[in-house]
Chains A and B, each alone.
Chain A
Amino acid sequence: MSRSVFLSAGTLVTPIGVGLDAHEKALEKGVSGIKQYPEIGFHQEDLFLSKIEFIDQDRYNELLKSALNDFLSLDFSVEVLRGKTKVIVSSTKGNIDALPFDTFESTRQILQDIFGAQIEIEIVSNACISGVIAINDAANYIKHNQFDYVVVIGIDVISNFVLYGFQSLFAVSDQPVRPFDKDRKGITLGEGCGIVVLSSTGLDTNSVAYLAGSSSNDANHISGPSRTGEGLYRVVERVLRSAEISADEVDYISAHGTGTLYNDEMESIAFKRCVLECKPINSYKGFFGHTLGAAGVIETICSMLSMKKQMLYRNLGFGEQGTSEKLAIIEQNTPCDIDVVLKTASGFGGGNAALLFKRIV
């Protein structure tokens, strides 16, 4: 009854460019999408953003269309369009420039134009863990034989709304984000779109086997992570148990690593409690900033690229250990046998989510 689930990377659209090849090169060379923008803060501060400059109007809708266009150029998109397919969108705010009045209507319209009016669309809006949850939900539909393909689209764009919001919380760094570093000062806001497909067979040679996923709440504070890493600890333990994988078998962790003092500290405590502190770990926020609802999807794709190349990519912005539990932060690109990857995310509302995938050999 329960089918195997495979995960195939579709595309990425970020400031680095469009498509997987551009991103593979950027990861190898350590090229970041983060730049300084003058007088963009609420008090006209100069701030750093990872902003897509090749889209200037109707930015959310155009980003979604751009990612879908690239997706349609992939060989396997033909069968995805033809099969019994569902689409899951992961986004914190959707078409944010139209708020408070566009709560995902434009998203649904764009998807119906491409996948047909009858396409089933599910929208996950669960803060920064949305992307990981969306992939886990998609896996459930495949496991239960309800769809041939589930397309997961993670997307969010930068806006004054979110920038001013994070500034009001004093969570925006005045320098490019430095995940897990001792001098980290907060997030750099980013934007982008990532697309992955879940199915019961691999769709190309870089597909991976999805093992398990889940979510858990910190039950601690709506905008501050738990001091003990409780939710993250529990969800990682649950996912390992459900996949029957020991902590020792994990080869690499793609962490959340937002670059705020409290988040990165919390993650270090949780990973120590899971006996994962010696495992190579990075955050991709130094490349893309924090892409919020898109982050889980974008970073899962990056860790799939890492597996494909059998290369651990360095954690951009990291210089010196800065968490009370020391982690094995990847400081230089390092060749490595990567068979099992753990991807985690944590966010506002006390949410934590994790998933595990394995190389197909």
Chain B
Amino acid sequence: MRLIGTCFLSARGLMMDGKLICQFSDENWLKEAYGMLQVDYPKFYKMDNLSKMAFICTEQLKTTGYFENLSDEEMALIFANSCASQHTDMKFIHSYTEQSNPSPSLFVYTLPNIVTGELAIRNKWYGSNCFYILPTFDANFFVNKLQHLKEEDGNFCLCGWVESKLDATGVIELEESFLFLVSLNEIDKEGSLINQLQETLTDYRNFKI
């Protein structure tokens, strides 16, 4: 398998393949990032932050050109984070405890796998997909899953670490999204892929803007 491209998004900026694509000045940096993409997809505005981040990174990764001419089952999705849909969970709890009105539009986003659902809808991907909860980003975990996937029909896998984490008082402590696209059938050393992923994420997190 071979790493085709990586993308990282946080309030600091959008980066791809190790390079800064843009910084954000707006407090609503997700909206700013969406505007920068110049795509017309109004459903974006209804998404929770996890889905928005994954959407932006996926659109950015399309510039690799690998998404064109894929058959509709060729792309598998493996996503994970450490705190599931914590941010939306809090908002949904608020809707029935404080506002006496449980919100159906929030409730549907209280499942982390809505992220992969949104990407599948946007791109008409019918491949296999799953969302996992891990204590921290673990390149080993992803590469292991990719090895299992190689036996299935898919040729590509879009992987993601998408986090919207609260501190103990319920304020957002960390929001980041790290997506990477892997070609499953090209030959490369898998041991080096693990190191490459772990180092890439560290570099992105420490990127000096």
Contact = CB atoms under 8 A, between A and B. Distances in A.
A344 interface: no
B5 interface: no
Given A99-B89, A100-B166, A351 B129 contact: yes
Interface centre among B90, B128, B166 (most CB of A within 10 A): B128
A217 interface: yes
B76 to A, nearest CB: 9
Interface stretch (A48-56, A163-171, A313-321): A163-171
B130 A140 contact: no
A223 B111 CA distance: 11
B152 A100 contact: no
Task: Give the interface centre of B108, B123, B134 by most chain A CB atoms within 10 Å.
Answer: B108
A165 B110 contact: yes
B107 to A, nearest CB: 4
A140 to B, nearest CB: 4
A103 to B, nearest CB: 4
A133 interface: yes
Given A103-B84, A349-B114, A349-B117, A125 B133 contact: yes
Interface stretch (A58-66, A230-238, A259-267): A230-238
Given A127-B111, A164-B102, A349-B113, A218 B120 contact: yes
Given A99-B89, A161-B93, A223-B108, A217 B170 contact: no
Interface string B99-130: 00011100110111110111011011111111
Q: Is the interface of B mostly helix, strand, loop or mixed?
A: mixed
Contact of A349 (B116, B128, B134, B141): B116
A231 B126 contact: yes
A219 interface: yes
Contacts of A99: 86, 89-90, 93
A104 B147 contact: no
A246 interface: no
Contacts of B132: 122-125
A218 B129 CA distance: 11
A222 B118 contact: yes
Interface in B63-85: 72-73, 77, 82-84
B114 A140 contact: no
Contacts of B130: 124, 126, 133, 137, 215
Contacts, number: 142
Contact of A125 (B84, B87, B102, B141): B84
A93 B112 CA distance: 10
B45 interface: no
Contact of B126 (A103, A222, A234): A234
Interface string B170-197: 1000000000000000000000000000
B134 A123 contact: yes
Interface residues of A, number: 50
A216 B166 contact: no
Contact of B120 (A137, A161, A217): A217
Contacts of A140: 148
B121 A221 contact: yes
A238 B153 contact: yes
A139 to B, nearest CB: 9
Interface in A192-235: 214-223, 230-231, 234-235
Contact of B131 (A126, A141, A230, A231): A126
A334 interface: no
Contacts of B128: 214-216, 235
A350 interface: yes
Nearest to B79: A126
A94 B112 CA distance: 12
Nearest to A230: B126
Contacts of A127: 111, 113
B96 A100 contact: no
B92 interface: yes
A164 B123 CA distance: 32
Contacts of A220: 121
Contacts of B117: 217, 222, 348-351
A92 interface: yes
A238 B73 CA distance: 10
Interface of B: 72-73, 77, 82-84, 86-87, 89-90, 92-93, 96, 102-104, 107-108, 110-114, 116-118, 120-121, 123-135, 141, 144-145, 147-148, 152-153, 166, 168, 170
5 contacts: A99-B93, A103-B83, A108-B135, A133-B130, A234-B73
Those 5 A-B pairs whose CB atoms lie nearest each other, nearest first: A349-B117, A165-B107, A217-B120, A140-B148, A123-B133
